[in-house]
Amino acid sequence: MRDEGELRELLATLGVGPDSAPLLTAYAARLFEWNRSHRFFSHRDGSSPEIVLRRHVVDSLLPVPLFDGEIRRMRAGGAQRVDVYDLGSGPGLPGIPLSIALKSLPGGGADSFHLVERGARRVSFLRYILRDLALDGVVVDDVDFTTLSVRADAPAIVTFRALSPLTEGVVRDVVATFPPGSAILVYQGSEIADALVRTFPGGRAVELPTVPHLGDRSLFRATLPCSGS
């Protein structure tokens, strides 16, 4: 990802308006600056703003059409609001890029994005970046996700990109925390996504668009059942 023009081309293929590009580029630049002291990424993955943009911001954006479709499906089903929860958000990945991109779409995205993160350094960055970029509808929840106060009458979208280890216990906690009918959209490499398909009946792995230097990526999608099922 050499420049903002190349980013705009990618956004167009995802159906995202070009007005999102400056905010996404600014976010990548702040990530790069803070990474030097906060160590969000390895040196290789955070060695320049361009690499941060490609390996982290662009990677987070690849399933935008899937998130948009999920939001539309929930609204068509009568949902009064749709909230997205990014578990183990770290420095805001994928929640911040998704919130910026989805807001530019005709449907306007979700009603709120919750960045769930307990690490003090990451939380300090999240609070800073929300102010710096003036991101509306995005909040930081610095708690364990199992203690979240989640609306029982509204299905949510649950996502995570770097929550590990992804054990059966974590999956059970997600099912117990969020209401039935909520969607889980998990960023994983193809092998892990295939394992999730075997663990989560009814789920499926969806291949994401291929971007140079990112390798094959897929997203696991399932609808959460009742916690007792």
Q: Per-residue pLDDT tens for 71-109? A: 999 999 999 999 999 999 999 999 999 999 999 998 889
What total of structural domains would you count in the chain? 2
**Nearest alpha-carbon partner for 218 in 196, 200, 201, 198:** 196
* Residues spanned by the domain of 190: 62-223
The phi and psi torsions of 87 (rounded to 5 degrees) equal -85, 135
| Sign, CA torsion 18/35/63/79 | negative
- pLDDT at position 1, please? 54
**Nearest alpha-carbon partner for 200 in 218, 227, 220:** 220
17 and 123 inside one domain: no
207 and 133 inside one domain: yes
What CA–CA distance (Å, rounded) separates 216 from 60?
13
- pLDDT at position 211, please? 80
* Residue 89, in any domain of the structure: yes
- pLDDT at position 37, please? 92
* Residue 213, in any domain of the structure: yes
* Residue 105, in any domain of the structure: yes
- pLDDT at position 162, please? 77
- pLDDT at position 217, please? 81
* Residue 228, in any domain of the structure: no
- pLDDT at position 184, please? 92
- pLDDT at position 42, please? 84
What CA–CA distance (Å, rounded) separates 82 from 219?
20
89 and 53 inside one domain: no
| Positions in the chain short of pLDDT 50 | 227-229
- pLDDT at position 125, please? 98
116 and 146 inside one domain: yes
